[in-house]
Amino acid sequence: MKRKIKNRIGHFPKINKTKYAACFYFSPERELQNFEVVEGFITKIVNDEVEFTGVFQGQKQKVIFPRRNIFSSREDADKRIEAALAWRESTNLKKELSGNIGFLPTNIAEINEVFPSGNPLRCGEPMICFGAQTNTWGEDDNPQKVLQMAGAIWEDIATLKSVLYVLGFANNYTKKLIGKYIVIELNSLFNCLKRLSELDADYKITLFSELLCQINILEEKYKFRAIRNRVAAHRDTNIDIMAALELWQNITRYTLNRYVNVFASHLDELLKKYQFEAKSYFFIRNVPLKGIVGIQDTETYKTFDEPFIEEVKGDNPSL
């Protein structure tokens, strides 16, 4: 009796049924030069390989393929191609850096340990252990949920600042572009704290009142709200070119740090009142969990890049 072999997406490969092959072409120096998705069909299955018939680079051929590169849909094959291109980009970058990628700040580097997080957007992320207070899971509006979101925004700002560090030698436009997204997050953080002031009366008349005064002083000079509304989160289609340029000129490392420092000092004071939330949503994410093994479950969490592993057999690289 013939043994049935499951493929990587849980289906049995069928002879003479339309399939899609993700094809990669290498130079003699093992550099990925070209790629394509070929529509065709399997004519033979041998262990982890298949004989695949299709039109490769304009010629109809029968080619022996690793089964991991044969898919039931064109979309899955396209994803495999996309993963290979991302791999090529990172490989080329690593080569340019002579293999040294240790310069990346910890909060944006590849995660090799398990870290806790209360950031809702990181729930289910590989190597992240998500946890949150019970009353932040539902739809009830409360200070804990607001602070959970504020912590997530503060993490976004720290991440974008680390990206700016990596791009220290980039051109002005590139750095201002990252700065634009920091402006958006700073506005989101202010709105978050404004909502907290509506839920916490004591905070409203003390710390938030002080924050409002400080932000208004900065806004008179740098206009981050207008940047957010007219050239960042939203694009004013009728804005005057000179007005847009004036706003864009206000995105600098100096102006960003002026706002970030105000919010940092404010959060330091605020979180003295909300110590559990401070630990859960602001501080604990920087401390790895010792003795816990992380699981890279790419079936339930959609990673930015498709999962990808290069294999080299003998003198031939294989994707």
Residues 132-172 pLDDT 10s: 777 667 777 889 999 999 999 999 999 999 998 888 778 89
Question: For residues 58 and 132, which has the higher predicted lDDT (pLDDT)?
Answer: 58
Helices (DSSP H) in 69-121: which residue ranges? 74-96
pLDDT attached to residue 38: 92
Q: What is the Cα–Cα distance from 181 to 26, expressed in whole angstroms?
A: 38
Burial class (CB in 10 A: 0-12, 13-18, 19+), 36: middle
pLDDT attached to residue 177: 93
pLDDT attached to residue 3: 37
Least confident of 125-134, 139-148, 200-209, 290-299: 290-299
Under the banding of pLDDT at 50, 70 and 90, the label for residue 66 is confident
Global pTM value: 0.74
Under the banding of pLDDT at 50, 70 and 90, the label for residue 180 is very high
Tokens 């995105």 correspond to what residue?
251
Q: What is the mean pLDDT of residues 115-142?
A: 79
Question: For residues 203 and 111, which has the higher predicted lDDT (pLDDT)?
Answer: 203
pLDDT at 226 over 80: yes
The 10s digit of each residue's pLDDT in 239-249 is 788 888 888 89
> What number of H helices and E strands is found in the chain?
9, 9
Directed axis angle between helix 253-273 and helix 172-199, to 10°? Answer: 30
Average pLDDT, the chain: 83
Residues 179-199 as b/e (b if ≥16 CB within 10 A, e otherwise) read: bbbbbbbbbbbbebbebbbee
Q: What is the mean pLDDT of residues 182-186?
A: 96
Closest to 82 measured CA to CA, from 32, 47, 129: 32
pLDDT attached to residue 124: 80
Q: What is the mean pLDDT of residues 182-191?
A: 96
The 10s digit of each residue's pLDDT in 5-20 is 333 333 445 566 899 9
Q: What is the mean pLDDT of residues 26-35?
A: 83
The 10s digit of each residue's pLDDT in 253-294 is 989 999 999 999 999 999 999 999 998 889 887 787 776 666
Tokens of 113: 């340990």
Contact 175, 167 (CB under 8 A): yes
Under the banding of pLDDT at 50, 70 and 90, the label for residue 297 is low
Q: What is the Cα–Cα distance from 160 to 163, expressed in whole angstroms?
A: 5
Most confident of 69-73, 103-107, 119-123, 215-219: 215-219
pLDDT attached to residue 12: 43
pLDDT at 309 over 50: yes
